[in-house]
Amino acid sequence: MLSAELAGATWIKNWSVNVGATFCSFYGDLYETEFPKHLGTGYQNTLYTFENGTSNQYLLADEQKAVIAHIVAQIEKDHAVGKAYCQNVREQTDRIMALMDRLQAKQADDLSLDDFSQLRESLFSHVPPNYVVKRTADFLSQATLEILFEDLEKARLYTEPVYGRVEQTIRLFARKIALRTDMDEEVLRSLTDAETVEYFTSQRLPSVTELQNRSKGMALHYQKGNSVMYTGAKFESIKAALHKPEEQGVVKGKMAFPGRVSGIVRIIFDPHRFKVFEKGDILVTGMTRPEFVPLMEKAGAFVTDAGGILSHAAIIARELKKPCVVGTLNATQVLKEGDTVEVDAEKGLVHVIKRA
């Protein structure tokens, strides 16, 4: 289990997306190992949860505050540093997209361990500058933001397709294993990157029962070069610690675009799998991606667990001029499918008017 200190600490949901455990473990401890190389600072703890096809990454609030402060100080001192990060993430985007074009042109059965390693290495180079571009805008001074916002937003949009493509590419490796073992490809989404490597080197895999158990819910905690996996009752305890009770019927976040609107909550993690979504419904999700745009065009407002002013949801909200509240941390837990809510985006609040 997490130590009492960590279990009682404040964890911030950094992202929430429809990806598998392999994607999470690809990230692994790169916030500890790669961030210092690229950014001069890093994290000591990262926590990932995977349940019902959706993954979340959590960072300790105190560690995030220190990392952000370090990066922001550099950019405030010299705006050229911010522009350099924007240029770097564009270059890294070109590199990893070209690699994934090559890998996705292959038949799944032709993919190799070297291909898998190249993908991981490219991701390690892409994540640090992308983190800067995506996260620091919320903490820069207004004067600096006015100078850099256009560069940051353009760089952010340039990188948008990357992580969806990474998950698609990872799934090709799962497909290769499925073809060779007759195992369910969806169950194989519960493999870690180390277990995928082990399959390529020795053809060993966890049991089907173990992978199915993970699919029901798992957590991965990375700390100081070590990792621990939790499933079953231990996972449920961690989830309970992360989702601490909040004020009943109220969700708080940050305004991405102002406006006030009421509507029916539709909680959607996978834009390709949902039962109903009518014009004017309130889209509630972990984070949005380009695949969500058709739903966003119909929605009355957007509410997300994670993200800031340069998140995909925020950018699209400004384009469509629709109320949007981001970075709530817990909207997908507090709100329920079918609730009637009022989104007061200017105040960053979502009030439940009537429970479903």
pLDDT tier, 246 (very low <50, low <70, confident <90, very high otherwise)? low
Could you give the dihedral angle defined by the CA atoms of residues 234, 239, 244 and 245, in that order, rounded to the nearest 10 degrees? -100
Assess whether 75 and 200 both reside in one domain.
Answer: yes
Range of the domain at 328: 250-354
- The answer to the question of residue 245 being in a domain is no
E strands present in the chain: 11-17, 45-51, 54-60, 218-223, 226-231, 250-252, 254-257, 260-267, 282-285, 301-304, 324-326, 340-344, 349-354
- The answer to the question of residue 299 being in a domain is yes
Mean pLDDT, the chain, integer? 94
Round to whole Å and give the CA distance between 155 and 89: 7
Assess whether 80 and 211 both reside in one domain.
Answer: yes
State the pairing for strand pair 340-344/260-267.
antiparallel
Round to whole Å and give the CA distance between 24 and 26: 5
Provide the domain count of the chain: 2
DSSP 8-state class, residue 190: G
Assess whether 324 and 221 both reside in one domain.
Answer: no
Question: Residue 51: what are its φ and ψ, rounded to 5°?
Answer: -155, 130
* pLDDT for position 135: 94
* pLDDT for position 29: 83
Look up residue 215 and give its two tokens: 């699919």
Distance of CA 320 to the CA centre of its chain: 23
CATH code at 291?
3.50.30.10
Round to whole Å and give the CA distance between 161 and 97: 9
Assess whether 257 and 229 both reside in one domain.
Answer: no
Assess whether 22 and 144 both reside in one domain.
Answer: yes
Assess whether 75 and 141 both reside in one domain.
Answer: yes
Assess whether 181 and 231 both reside in one domain.
Answer: yes
* pLDDT for position 245: 59
Last residue of a domain, one of 240, 263, 280: 240
Last residue of a domain, one of 240, 268, 283: 240
Among residues of the chain, what percentage have pLDDT more than 70? 98
Assess whether 195 and 303 both reside in one domain.
Answer: no
pLDDT tier, 1 (very low <50, low <70, confident <90, very high otherwise)? low
* pLDDT for position 195: 96
Last residue of a domain, one of 218, 240, 262: 240
Q: Which single residue is written with the structure tokens 């989702």?
A: 243
Among residues of the chain, what percentage have pLDDT more than 90? 88
Assess whether 163 and 67 both reside in one domain.
Answer: yes
Assess whether 15 and 73 both reside in one domain.
Answer: yes
The candidate with the shortest Cα–Cα distance to 302, out of 322, 327, 328, is 322
Residue pLDDT, tens place only, 7-27: 788 999 999 988 999 999 988
Indicate the length of the chain as a whole number. 356
* pLDDT for position 257: 97
* Contact present, 253 and 331 (Cβ < 8 Å): yes
Assess whether 190 and 339 both reside in one domain.
Answer: no
The β-bridge partners of 16 are: 56
pTM surpassing 0.85?
A: yes
Assess whether 177 and 276 both reside in one domain.
Answer: no
